[in-house]
Amino acid sequence: MRTIRIGSGAGYSGDRIEPAIELAEKGGIQYLVFECLGERTVALAQQARMKNPQNGFDPLLEERMRAVLPLCAAKGIKIVTNMGAANPAAAARKTAEIARSLGLSSLKVAAVVGDDVLEPCKERDLPIMEFDGTIKQLGNRLLSANAYLGAEPMAEALNAGADVVITGRASDPALFLAPMLHAFGWAMDDWNLLGQGTVAGHLLECAGQITGGYFADPPYKDVPDLARLGFPIGEIGEDGSLVITKVEGSGGAVTAQTCKEQLLYEVHDPRRYIQPDVTADFSKVTVEEIGKDRVRVSGGCGSPRPSTLKVSVGYVDSFIGEGQISYAGPGALARGRLALEIVRERLKLTGVAASELRFDLIGVDSLHGSQVSARAGEPYEVRVRVTGRTENLREAVRIGNEVETLYTNGPAGGGGAFKSARDVVAVASVLLPRELARPQVQFVEGESR
Amino acid sequence: MKLREIAHSRTGDKGNTSNISVIAYDEKDYPLLLEQVTSERVRAHFAGVVEGEVVRYELPNLSALNFVMTQTLGGGVTRSLALDAHGKSLSSALLDLEIEAVSGKK
Q: What is the pLDDT of residues A382-436, one digit of tens each?
A: 999 999 999 999 999 999 999 999 999 999 999 999 999 999 999 999 999 999 9
Look at B12 and A286 and tell me if their CB atoms are within 8 Å: no
For residue A261, is pLDDT > 80?
Answer: yes
Q: What is the pLDDT of residue A372?
A: 86
Q: What is the pLDDT of residue A180?
A: 98
Peptide bond into A218 cis (omega under 30): no
- Min Cα distance A371 → chain B (Å) is 6
The answer for A 359-388 residues in CB contact with B (under 8 A) is 360, 362, 366-372, 385, 387-388
Which residue of chain B has the CA closest to A357? Answer: B81
Residue B49: name the closest of B22, B67, B23, B24 by CA. B67
Q: What is the pLDDT of residues A288-346, one digit of tens each?
A: 999 999 999 999 999 999 999 999 999 999 999 999 999 999 999 999 999 999 999 99
The arithmetic mean of pLDDT across residues A198-203, rounded, is 98
B43 at the A interface (CB within 8 A)?
Answer: no
Q: How far is CA A350 from the centre of its chain?
A: 40
Inter-chain contacts counted by CB atoms under 8 A, chains A and B: 122
Residue A43 pLDDT grade (very low, low, confident, very high; cuts 50, 70, 90): confident
Residues ≥6 apart with Cβ < 8 Å to A354: A321, A347, A388, A389, A390, A395, A399
- Min Cα distance A428 → chain B (Å) is 8
Q: What whole-number distance in Å separates Cα of residue A417 and Cα of residue A64?
A: 36
Q: What is the pLDDT of residue A377?
A: 83
Q: What is the pLDDT of residue B99?
A: 97
Residue of A368, A370, A386 to mutate, testing the B interface (most B Cβ within 10 Å of its Cβ) = A368
Look at B76 and A426 and tell me if their CB atoms are within 8 Å: yes
Percent of chain A with pLDDT over 90: 94
Domain map (residue ranges) of chain A = 3-114+149-306, 313-429
Q: What is the pLDDT of residue A446?
A: 62
3-state SS track over chain A: CCEEEEEEEECCCCCCCHHHHHHHHHCCCCEEEECCCCCCHHHHHHHHHHHCCCCCCCCCHHHHHHHHHHHHHHHCCEEEECCCCCCHHHHHHHHHHHHHHCCCCCCCEEEEECCECHHHHHHHCCECCCCCCECHHHHHHEEEEEECECCHHHHHHHHCCCCEEEECCECHHHHHHHHHHHHHCCCCCCHHHHHHHHHHHHHHCCHHHHCCCCCCECCCECCCCHHHECCEEEEEECCCCEEEEECCCCECCCCHHHHHHHHHCCCCCCCCEECCCCEEECCCCEEEEEECCEEEEECCEEECCCCEEEEEEEEEEEEEEEEEEEEECCCHHHHHHHHHHHHHHHHHHCCCCEEEEEEEEECCCCCCHHHHHHHCCCCCEEEEEEEEEECCHHHHHHHHHHHHCHHHHCCCCCEEEEEEEEEEEEEEEEEEEHHHCCCEEEECCCCCC
Q: Considering chain A, what is the average pLDDT of its residues? A: 96
* A313-429 topology per CATH: Alpha-Beta Plaits (3.30.70)
Determine contact, residues A65/A95, Cβ cutoff 8 Å. Answer: yes
Q: What whole-number distance in Å separates Cα of residue A212 and Cα of residue A37?
A: 22
Q: How far is residue B69 from each of residues A15, A272, A277, A415, B58, measured CA to CA in Å?
A: 28, 17, 26, 37, 15
Determine contact, residues B58/A407, Cβ cutoff 8 Å. Answer: no
Look at B23 and A257 and tell me if their CB atoms are within 8 Å: yes
Residues ≥6 apart with Cβ < 8 Å to B3: B22, B37, B94, B95, B96, B97, B98, B99
The arithmetic mean of pLDDT across residues A218-227, rounded, is 97
Look at A257 and B14 and tell me if their CB atoms are within 8 Å: no
Show the domains of chain B with their CATH numbers. Answer: 3-94 (3.30.70)
A189 at the B interface (CB within 8 A)?
Answer: no
Q: What is the pLDDT of residue A352?
A: 96
Residue A147 phi, psi dihedral angles, 5° rounding = -85, 140
Q: Which of B19, B76, B81 sits opposite A267 (nearest CB)?
A: B19
Residues A121, A126, A128, A132, CA torsion sign: positive
- Min Cα distance A104 → chain B (Å) is 40
For residue B102, is pLDDT > 60?
Answer: yes
Q: Which of B15, B59, B74 sits opposite A130 (nearest CB)?
A: B15
Q: Considering chain B, what is the average pLDDT of its residues? A: 94
Q: What is the pLDDT of residue A374?
A: 84
Percent of chain A with pLDDT over 70: 99
Determine contact, residues A81/A163, Cβ cutoff 8 Å. Answer: no
Look at B19 and A264 and tell me if their CB atoms are within 8 Å: yes
Q: What is the pLDDT of residue B103?
A: 46
Residue of A322, A367, A383, A430 to mutate, testing the B interface (most B Cβ within 10 Å of its Cβ) = A367
Q: What is the pLDDT of residue A449?
A: 39
Look at B62 and A215 and tell me if their CB atoms are within 8 Å: no
Q: Which of A265, A366, A427 sits opposite B83 (nearest CB)?
A: A366
B53 CB neighbours in chain A (<8 A) are none
The arithmetic mean of pLDDT across residues A276-296, rounded, is 98
Residue A212: name the closest of A220, A222, A204 by CA. A222
Look at B8 and A217 and tell me if their CB atoms are within 8 Å: yes
Determine contact, residues A325/A384, Cβ cutoff 8 Å. Answer: yes
The answer for B 56-75 residues in CB contact with A (under 8 A) is 57, 59, 61-62, 64, 66, 68, 74-75
Which residue of chain A has the CA closest to B63? Answer: A260
